[in-house]
Amino acid sequence: MFDFDHCAFRYRIHDLAVIKLSFPELVFQGALKGYEHIRTLKSVEKDCINLYSDILMFKKFSDIFNMLEITGADENEKQLIAHNAYHTLKDIIAY
């Protein structure tokens, strides 16, 4: 269910935010319950999961744009991919 090659030290809510972005709400709630069975989150951490999820979405968009710069994509290709990425991320956030 989770890609462990990204394991690292970071905010405790990072993995939960990724799950929130990647799976239906029911799965997220199950993961949150399981996580808190082992380690309770502070209320401020719970309050920040949605905001942190949004930040991750913007970061992913930035990563895509940087990849296009590195690969030397022409302007038309950059615009097409950026447009598609924007609409995909927008659809995911609306989900």
| pTM confidence score | 0.62
Encode pLDDT of 27-72 as tens digits: 999 999 998 999 899 999 999 999 888 888 777 777 777 777 777 7
Integer CA distances (angstroms), 19 to 14, 23, 76, 84, in order: 9, 6, 33, 22
Say what percent of the chain tops pLDDT 70. 83
Q: First vs last Cα of the chain: how many Å apart?
A: 19
Q: At what angle do helices 25-38 and 14-22 cross, to 10 degrees?
A: 160
Between the ranges 8-17, 26-35, 75-84, where is the mean pLDDT highest?
Answer: 26-35
